[in-house]
Amino acid sequence: AVAAARAAEAGHDVTGVHLALSANPQSHRTGARGCCTIEDSRDARRAADVIGIPFYIWDMAERFQRDVVEDFVSEYAAGRTPNPCLRCNEKIKFEAVLDRALALGFDAVATGHHARLVDGVLSRSPDEGKDQSYVLGVLTREQLGHAMFPLGDSTKAQVREEAARRGLMVADKPDSHDICFIADGDTRGFLERRLGTVPGPIVDASGEVVGSHEGAYGFTVGQRKGLHIDRPAPDGRPRYVLSIEPVSNTVTVGPRSALEVTSVETVRPVWNGPVAEPYEPLACTVQLRAHGEVYGCRIQVSGEEVHVALDTPATGVAAGQAAVFYLEDTVIGSATIARAV
């Protein structure tokens, strides 16, 4: 809402759009999750009225189901851990929505993401706790060229204060979080309803069976709780998920120290920064999950693959997540994690 108000105040011809992403939206939000209920669309319409801009609802439910929800399920079924917020930015907001906007004669999609665009180059927000450059790091240069992030130089607290001053009723509205299409937050239950129960073994690094599960899709690398292990570790220390093998339906667990990786193999790079694809090894930093730590690294590009050698070991690195590369606070590109070593 504040992004729209700032864009309108700056002299842009602004139209507000709410995305209907569910074929059967709930009337009310469940807790603070989600952003696509009937209640949310009414909030958006009221904000547009206060700002004084036209408002429309665009039905993207079918596209969202295919490109985000079905992708989410299939990635888990393949033993990977997807990031649906990242996929939504890539396939919905800055592909489906942007394509329609350009066809209708608009120049850009403006959103409330906390990230900065400087001469078309994506950079981190000054609000480190709310920075969203990671989930935007998959966008192409062309997509970023038709994007606007009016909140880029502000913190979340400043934006909420401004919303209150402008009389926008959403000033105190809770942030959406977790996965918007899983209203109750039960990811394992959501996947079980779609993939069914698929019993399999939980083994330690030696291959010894230490427990069982009802579906390998219910686990992610680095997970410690909810493992249902029958035989505790000999040293009494907690075990963590080390790997997920979808073909054998096997989950491997072990000590936290076994989670440490020193290199990451990634695929399908997108170079969207101020320089072209790096043809020589490049020292930079990498973020391996949303709101995760940042690691110094050296990257080496080989066609559609990027080898990432980490300066210090990382933990909880999961295939399917994005690796986003930075020079200081500037995004230079991203790739999809295929394997951690």
DSSP codes of every residue in 240-305 = EEEEEETTTTEEEEE-GGGG-EEEEEEEEEE--SSS----S-EEEEEE-STT--EEEEEEEEETTE
Q: Of 201, 199, 238, whose CA–CA distance to 222 is shortest?
A: 238
SS3 of 5, please? helix
Q: Of 34, 70, 40, 296, whose CA–CA distance to 175 is shortest?
A: 34
Q: How far apart are CA 47 and CA 221, in angstroms?
A: 41
Out of 35, 88, 284, 297, pick the active-site residue: 88
Following CA atoms 84, 131, 4, 120 in sequence, which dihedral angle do they give, to the nearest 10 degrees?
Answer: -90
Out of 35, 85, 180, 284, pick the active-site residue: 180
C-beta of residue 215 within 8 angstroms of C-beta of residue 205: no
Query: What are the C-alpha distances in Å from 106 to residues 68, 117, 142, 148, 289?
Result: 25, 19, 15, 12, 33
Whether 88 is catalytic is: yes
Whether 297 is catalytic is: no
User: Which residues does the annotation mark as catalytic?
Assistant: 88, 180
